[in-house]
């Protein structure tokens, strides 16, 4: 069975093997810059990370799980799927996150109430 030009990804990648090292270097520089961004502005890092997650997960879901191979449809469907998944995860975090926050606050309140007594086997202050 002959592969069409759109399906022959491996042969096309092999033709441009010389650019593999350059692409790896550029990818490493971008990734390193992304990690350094966390030190300077965590909010921008979180927003950029969310965008990258949405785009990459949408692409993987549409191409691998949904089996869409048409490039035009992938470019249209993958951002919709990715941002839909990101929105769903955000809603789940907001609904369950309040319960986790309440549990953490309760555990901190109970730990703060017993400050005067040492833990079993611990030293008294």
- Report CA-CA distances (Å) from 42 to 46, 48, 51, 66, 76: 6, 10, 14, 34, 30
User: Closest Cα to residue 9, out of 71, 59, 79, 55?
Assistant: 71
Note down pLDDT in tens along the chain; length 125 residues: 555 555 555 555 555 666 667 778 888 888 888 888 888 888 888 888 899 899 999 999 999 888 888 888 888 999 999 999 999 998 988 888 777 777 788 888 887 665 555 566 656 55
User: Closest Cα to residue 3, out of 17, 11, 70?
Assistant: 11
Q: Does pTM surpass 0.85?
A: no
pLDDT of residue 84: 93
Indicate the domain borders of the chain: 41-98
Find where tokens 């909010």 sit: 43
């Amino acid at each position: 069975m002959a592969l069409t030009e759109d399906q022959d990804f491996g042969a096309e990648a092999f033709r441009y093997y010389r650019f593999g090292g350059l692409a790896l270097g550029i990818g490493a520089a971008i990734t390193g810059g992304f990690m350094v961004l966390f030190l300077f502005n965590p909010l921008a890092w979180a927003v950029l990370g969310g965008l990258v997650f949405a785009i990459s997960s949408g692409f993987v879901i549409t191409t691998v799980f949904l089996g869409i191979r048409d490039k035009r449809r992938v470019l249209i469907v993958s951002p919709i799927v990715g941002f839909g998944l990101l929105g769903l995860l955000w809603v789940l975090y907001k609904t369950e996150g309040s319960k986790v926050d309440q549990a953490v606050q309760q555990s901190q309140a109970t730990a703060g109430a017993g400050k005067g007594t040492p833990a079993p086997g611990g030293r008294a202050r």
